[in-house]
């Protein structure tokens, strides 16, 4: 008897696709409940990892006011205020990384390269 072909997760798999793969390709009805969802904005993150999990702290980089009245940019003081912590197993972290990579590639194809260095973004 031949082995059944096994589905392998592909980058960008949706939650529905993952559910089908986990149930051997059988049709599964997935309902998503957004009633308890909270939306937050993050412009910064910090990562850490254990042997079993990936930890992502999400939050805001904010300029700290300088008490001497100088520009904080001159002083270089920035506060990273952590608002949320996301803890993922490595399988979910990999799926998220692949999905985010795919989303960013699509954005850059449409609008151009995202330059991470601020000085490269300055209008010249």
Phi, psi at 63, each rounded to 5°: -70, 130
pLDDT, one tens digit per residue, over 71-80 is 545 556 889 9
pTM of the model: 0.67
pLDDT at 73: 54
pLDDT, one tens digit per residue, over 27-49 is 888 899 999 999 999 999 999 99
CB 78 within 8 A of CB 62: yes
Tell me the DSSP string of 57-102: EEEEEEEPPPTTS--HHHHT-EEEEEEEEEEEEHHHHHHHHHHHHH
Please give the order of strands across the beta sheet that includes 44-49. 44-49, 53-63, 78-89
Q: What is the mean pLDDT of residues 5-25?
A: 55
Confidence of residue 9 (pLDDT cuts 50, 70, 90): very low
Where does residue 95 rank: exposed (0-12), middle (13-18), buried (19+ CB within 10 A)?
buried
**8-12, 45-49, 64-68, 70-74: least confidently modelled range:** 8-12
């Amino acid at each position: 008897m031949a082995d059944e072909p096994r589905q392998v997760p592909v980058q960008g798999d949706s939650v529905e696709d993952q559910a089908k793969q986990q149930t051997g390709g059988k049709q599964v009805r997935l309902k998503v409940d957004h009633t308890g969802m909270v939306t937050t904005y993050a412009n910064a993150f910090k990562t850490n990892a254990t042997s079993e999990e990936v930890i992502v702290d999400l939050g805001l980089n904010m300029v700290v006011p300088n008490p001497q009245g100088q520009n904080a940019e001159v002083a270089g003081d920035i506060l990273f205020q952590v608002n949320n912590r996301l803890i993922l197993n490595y399988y979910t972290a990999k799926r998220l990384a692949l999905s985010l990579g795919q989303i960013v590639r699509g954005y850059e194809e449409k609008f151009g390269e995202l330059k991470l260095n601020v000085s490269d973004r300055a209008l010249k």
